[in-house]
Amino acid sequence: MPRIIVTEEQWIHLGAERFAQGGIEALVIEKMASKLKCSKSSFYWYFSNRSEFVRKIVDYWNTILTQQVMTASSKVMTAEEKLSVLMHHMFSTTQKGDFLFYLRKLSLEEADYQEVIERLETFRMNFAKELFVQTGMPEDLAEHKSWLLYHYFIGWYERHKSQQLAEEDVHHHVTRLHKSLL
């Protein structure tokens, strides 16, 4: 039987999926090894322990998801278009798990993750603030609106995270929100 080689990236990607579905309790190494069709020892080839694995999962999620949205939002021409793209990405994220919820839960037990969340949220709100400023909005108002947008999104996501939203519904919602914020 051929030996199946599993990469660190495969472990981290599967770990991020599992974490988003059930938090740290969903990171059962034996079950993940079975899903990856490899031995449990493969995990220890890349990670010295589960804490290191969780840290790499959080770093992956933070880098990949945040950067994807920001990169997509940077491709268009005007600041208003960038804001629309940003909001469209934000409000198209339903049915992808609840990574941030489980990260907040973990942060109650491990203070290092509170700092991760604070940096992440500050980074995200500053990104939106800069887009608002680029539209000609004064900096203090831009900061206020970025705070409102982010916190509105957190509540909106909690309400809709289990629903499959049609592209038309997302577009309608983003258009209304865009008009309200600008």
Q: Is residue 177 in some structural domain?
A: yes
What's the confidence (pLDDT) of residue 22?
92
In CATH, what number is assigned to the domain containing residue 160?
1.10.357
Q: Is residue 116 in some structural domain?
A: yes
Q: Is residue 30 in some structural domain?
A: no
> What is the model's pTM?
0.81
Counting other chains too, the contacts that 110-113 makes at CB distance below 8 Å and 24 or more residues apart are 113/58
What's the confidence (pLDDT) of residue 94?
65
182 residues of the chain, pLDDT tens digit each: 455 689 999 999 999 999 999 999 999 999 999 999 998 889 999 999 999 999 999 999 888 877 777 777 667 678 888 888 888 888 887 667 788 889 999 999 999 899 999 998 998 899 999 999 999 999 999 999 999 999 999 888 888 887 787 888 888 888 999 899 99
What's the confidence (pLDDT) of residue 32?
96
Q: Is residue 47 in some structural domain?
A: no
Q: Is residue 138 in some structural domain?
A: yes
Number of structural domains in the chain: 1
The span from the CA of 136 to the CA of 153, in Å, is 23
Domain span at residue 65 reads 57-181
Contact assessment for residue 35 and residue 14, using Cβ atoms and an 8 Å cutoff: yes
The span from the CA of 67 to the CA of 30, in Å, is 31
What's the confidence (pLDDT) of residue 4?
60
